Amino acid sequence: MERRKILSLILIFTFFFSSIKAQENKNCDSYLASYPDIIKVVLDNKDNLDLSQEQMESIESAISTYEPMILERKKQINQLQEKLNKLILEGGKSEDIKQIILKLAQLKAENLVLKIKEIREVQNSLTESQYKKILSLIEAKKI
């Protein structure tokens, strides 16, 4: 009975991560959920936004603060994902699989929190009109 519970848990988590993976684009495969990529929109449209030198420095500072931490977690996530795949295919122990799944969820959640902090810092360096332009650009991309 215990084995069935663990197998069910593994299947649920595998389905959960598969569905998340399918929803994520190539830029946010190391996050627990997808998010609007405000930073990319800001950087792609920095000329149209008339960003000041101070704003650009603030944005670059936010990126340089958070991206190294995010990238480090991405490496760990990729390594754990490979280990998980190997354990699943080779009939690894259920407890080992469960521990990797939990660690993956933790790392992905941490990455999402870091990304949100990075986004908030970028948002805070924009004026209200600049931020409204960003929102309009994001909305236009959805169409």
| Residue 61 within any structural domain of the chain | yes
Residue 1 confidence (pLDDT): 59
Share of the chain above pLDDT 70, in %: 76
Confidence of residue 96 (pLDDT cuts 50, 70, 90): very high
N-terminal to C-terminal alpha carbon distance within the chain = 49
Residue 132 confidence (pLDDT): 92
Report how many domains make up the chain: 1
Confidence of residue 25 (pLDDT cuts 50, 70, 90): very low
| Residue 27 within any structural domain of the chain | no
| Residue 93 within any structural domain of the chain | yes
Is the full-model pTM beyond 0.75? no
| Residue 5 within any structural domain of the chain | no
Residue 19 confidence (pLDDT): 46
| Residue 128 within any structural domain of the chain | yes
Residue 138 confidence (pLDDT): 87
> If you write DSSP's letter for every residue of 68-122 in order, what string do you get?
HHHHHHHHHHHHHHHHHHHHHHTT--HHHHHHHHHHHHHHHHHHHHHHHHHHHHH
| Residue 25 within any structural domain of the chain | no
Share of the chain above pLDDT 90, in %: 58
Residue 27 confidence (pLDDT): 45
Is residue 66 over pLDDT 50?
Answer: yes
| Pairwise CA distance, residues 107 & 103, whole Å | 6
* Coil/strand/helix, residue 48: helix
| Residue 12 within any structural domain of the chain | no
Residue 100 confidence (pLDDT): 95
Confidence of residue 36 (pLDDT cuts 50, 70, 90): confident
Q: What is the mean predicted confidence (pLDDT) over 60-87?
A: 95
Is residue 2 over pLDDT 80?
Answer: no
Domain span including residue 81 = 35-132
Is residue 130 over pLDDT 80?
Answer: yes
| Residue 7 within any structural domain of the chain | no
- Cβ 136 vs Cβ 55: under 8 Å: no
- Residue 50 makes CB contacts below 8 A (sequence gap 6+) with 130
Is residue 28 over pLDDT 80?
Answer: no
| Pairwise CA distance, residues 126 & 128, whole Å | 7
